[in-house]
Chain A
Amino acid sequence: MAQVIIDTGNHIAGFACKAARAQVVAAYPITPQSPVVEQIADLIEKGQMDAKYIRVESEHSAMAACIGAAVGGARAFTATSAHGLALMHEMLHWASASRLPIVMAVVNRAMGPPWNVWADFSDSLSQRDTGWIQFYCASNQEIFDTIIQAYKLCEDKRVFLPAMVCFEGYVLSHTSMPVKIPDQKDIDDFLPPYNPPWLLDVENPITHGNIVYPDWYMEFRYFMQEAMENAKRLIPEIDKEYGKKFGFEYGGHVERYRCEDAEHILLTMGTMGSEAKVTVDRLREKGLKVGAARLRVFRPFPKEEIQNLARNVRMLTIVDRQISYGMEGPLLTEVKASLYGEEETPLTAGFIAGLGGRDVTFMDLEMMINRSLKWLKAGRVEKEVEWIGLRK
């Protein structure tokens, strides 16, 4: 029977791993991710979860073990944060280019130095081009739902790519919220066992990932791009199907809030998207036609969805909890790139906020909107990228 429990984002990720019937978990603890793997180790130890837990000496090995498990036909799971994710970098490419549907919880944390363990998206966004699908969550319920959906998506034969399910350190990882855990039988119906296209089998030996010369290499890269496009198409379908079955739906790639008649949209990622709803409600009371949109999927980037969102909008205020040094916030870059060539494009104002776990409140978001509105009135954006809350 479905039940509602109150627990932290980390523990919920562990419960989702169990509900997804992951068979191999190889992970190395790192703040703020540790409770995810402690929870899974605990569930296995108590006999409540039927999986092999592999203790490894680093994140590089954790991902290597997951790759081995997935090649052997097992459903594999791991979790990490920040520097752990960075250490995995080489194996991330290996996992995606081997087309293995591994799912990993990434508890977003700032990169050091200076050492900092708090929320920041620069860890996962640094891994943007590794061929992993990237989801960003705004609640503990969404963490649970997205992990289940991620397996469904990744194991689809049109996709066969791994996915990161990202959520902000402490803001979600250590915050308790009520979460509805569906009946296991219903989850099993939604997510049947993994059916791999090929297996490591001693009777029928193969090696994989061997050398491919320049005359055929590009084709394998093209397959990955195709798989990403397929994933882009499937994400809203799976979200709908899940919503119909379990009651939680997140709008596919982009969750929209009061956007129907909005002239001005505030685009965020992660939990800032929840905060943005408060801002929108307050500004709507003052008569401003403002809406909030929250990007759930950074890769594949929902280009068409962003174009659609920007139609009939005069201003887009884009908030990045990350910075690509020497350029701007990556979300701003990608949104502008998606809109280039459209007939009519809104003005875009980019804001950098909340790095290293600095709180981003509805008041901060309101200030960003007010500043954007001023620029809209003037017909030009005075400062293309503004850092919010930067101390003098």
Chain B
Amino acid sequence: MVKEPKSMRDLPITPLSCPTVASMGKTGSWRTFRPVIDSTKCTHCLLCWIFCPEGCIERQKDDMPDINYDYCKGCGVCANECRLGAIRMERERE
């Protein structure tokens, strides 16, 4: 989280920021299409995990990928990379 400076003298001379989880908030709300993994087709190759540009795919113990829908923007890179067609992009409702 960004700490609110009390005075301008608390600021560095140029804006510097440290890595933080989602400084822009929960970007999952930007999504129009939602990637859905078909666990029967998935071979746990982790290509989707490697290619996700936002780091929204988490690698579970058995190497099963798990998509974090709080931050996934629905870009579809994972579905495009999956060689087995195990990721389907579904239109978001509402």
A interface vs B, CB < 8 Å? 97-99, 160, 197-198, 205-212, 216, 219-220, 222-223, 227
Contact = CB atoms under 8 A, between A and B. Distances in A.
Contacts of B19: 205, 207
Given A206-B17, A216-B8, 14 more contacts: A97-B14, A99-B14, A197-B13, A198-B12, A198-B16, A206-B16, A207-B16, A207-B19, A209-B15, A210-B16, A210-B17, A211-B15, A216-B5, A219-B8
Contact of A220 (B14, B17, B18): B14
Q: Is the interface of B mostly helix, strand, loop or mixed?
A: loop
A-B pairs, top 9 by smallest CB distance, nearest first, are: A219-B8, A210-B17, A99-B14, A208-B16, A99-B13, A206-B16, A212-B15, A98-B14, A223-B13
Contacts of A97: 14
B11 interface: yes
B11 A208 contact: no
A208 B5 CA distance: 17
Interface of B: 5, 8, 11-19
Nearest to B24: A211
A15 to B, nearest CB: 32
13 contacts: A98-B14, A99-B13, A160-B13, A197-B12, A198-B12, A205-B19, A207-B17, A208-B15, A210-B16, A210-B17, A219-B8, A220-B11, A220-B14
Contacts of B16: 198, 206-208, 210
Contacts of A206: 16-18
A208 B17 CA distance: 6
Contacts of B18: 205-206
Nearest to A226: B13
B31 to A, nearest CB: 22
A219 B15 CA distance: 11
A222 B14 contact: no
A208 B8 contact: no
B11 A216 contact: yes
A197 B11 CA distance: 13
A223 B5 CA distance: 15
Contacts of A99: 13-14
A210 B13 contact: no
Contacts of B5: 216
Contacts of A222: 8
A208 B15 CA distance: 6
A97 B18 CA distance: 18
B12 to A, nearest CB: 7
A206 B19 CA distance: 7
Contacts of A216: 5, 8, 11
A98 B19 CA distance: 18
A391 B19 CA distance: 62
B81 to A, nearest CB: 26
A76 to B, nearest CB: 16
A21 B51 CA distance: 42
A266 to B, nearest CB: 39
Contacts of A207: 16-17, 19
Nearest to A215: B4
A35 B47 CA distance: 50
A206 B15 CA distance: 10
Contacts of A219: 8, 11
